[in-house]
A and B are shown apart, each in its own frame.
Chain A
Amino acid sequence: MDRIPILRMGKFLLVTIQIDLYDRLATNLESDLVNMVNKTGARGVLIDISALSIVDSFMGRILGNIGTMSKIMDAEAVVVGMQPAVAITLIELGLELKGVHTALNVEKGMELLHEKISFDEDTLDEADYENNSE
């Protein structure tokens, strides 16, 4: 069965969608990603959709699901590289892409993930410190 490859890079998982997905491929990606987050303990998921010429309500829902599921699994998901025409069309269609972070490109997306995760770790460290000092 066809699958979209998921690359692991440190604490992050990277996915580049290079072809127009049919439904099964998209739902497989959703479940593969959640399984990978679980297996690897990844803290961030970055999905590059710069090659996608359209995002319809089905694909929009998949992206939203990935965001929400990642959050439940204690990871952050960011979608990067959306074409301007796709963004305009999504809003006119009535989709807001809730539940998932977005960034302009891969670089900005990585920065966003680093920020989110280092913030988490800082607050964790402080909590540990307070516990230890008691």
Chain B
Amino acid sequence: MTIEKEQDVVPFRNRVKEHAVKIGMSILNQTKLITAASELVRNMLKYAGGGVTTIEVLSKGRENGIRVVFQDKGPGIKDIKQAMQDGFSTGKSLGVGLPGAKRLVSEFDIKSIPGEGTTVTIIKWKNG
């Protein structure tokens, strides 16, 4: 799903929710996943002017989960370690986006090349 304006955020969140409902995720885990996804999609819009998201259902043994990938061709993040700290922000936001999103999901991966873009992958297991 392509994200290029703020009006895309709500439909994107609904798509994430549909997937989470499909695998029978609890309301609490759904809320955590959707909130994390919302933070990341907002970051993508704010710092990279948009990007592409992919939502898919995963299976590992008996456990099901949802993976969401956020890919942008923005300026990238120079210092990921710093960006993952609570309260750090280059913008005017509260600086909870990245570290907060990480706390809300089961698995979190971020790769960024300055000048080329950033890819963030999150996984929320159904019971995770």
Binding site for B on A (CB under 8 A): 20-24, 53-58, 60-61, 83-86, 88-89, 92-95
Contact = CB atoms under 8 A, between A and B. Distances in A.
B60 to A, nearest CB: 23
SS of B interface (majority): helix
Contacts of A85: 27-28, 30-32
A61 B93 CA distance: 9
A57 B104 contact: no
Given A23-B9, A61-B94, A93 B35 contact: yes
Contacts of B17: 53
Contact of B96 (A22, A23, A88, A93): A93
A89 B10 contact: no
Given A53-B31, A94-B96, A22 B6 contact: yes
Contacts of B30: 85
Interface in B89-109: 93-94, 96-97, 99-101, 103-104
Contact of B13 (A20, A61, A93): A20
29 contacts: A22-B6, A22-B10, A53-B31, A53-B34, A54-B13, A54-B34, A54-B38, A56-B35, A57-B39, A57-B93, A57-B97, A57-B100, A58-B38, A58-B42, A61-B94, A85-B28, A88-B31, A88-B32, A89-B31, A89-B35, A93-B35, A93-B101, A93-B104, A94-B94, A94-B96, A94-B99, A94-B100, A95-B94, A95-B100
Interface residues of B, number: 27
Interface string B2-31: 000011011001100100000000011011
A117 B42 CA distance: 38
A21 B42 CA distance: 13
B87 to A, nearest CB: 8
Contacts of A60: 94
Given A53-B34, A94-B86, A89 B104 contact: yes
Contacts of B14: 20
B37 to A, nearest CB: 9
Given A56-B42, A57-B96, A89-B104, A20 B35 contact: no
A93 B39 contact: yes
A18 to B, nearest CB: 13
A93 B101 CA distance: 7
A58 to B, nearest CB: 6
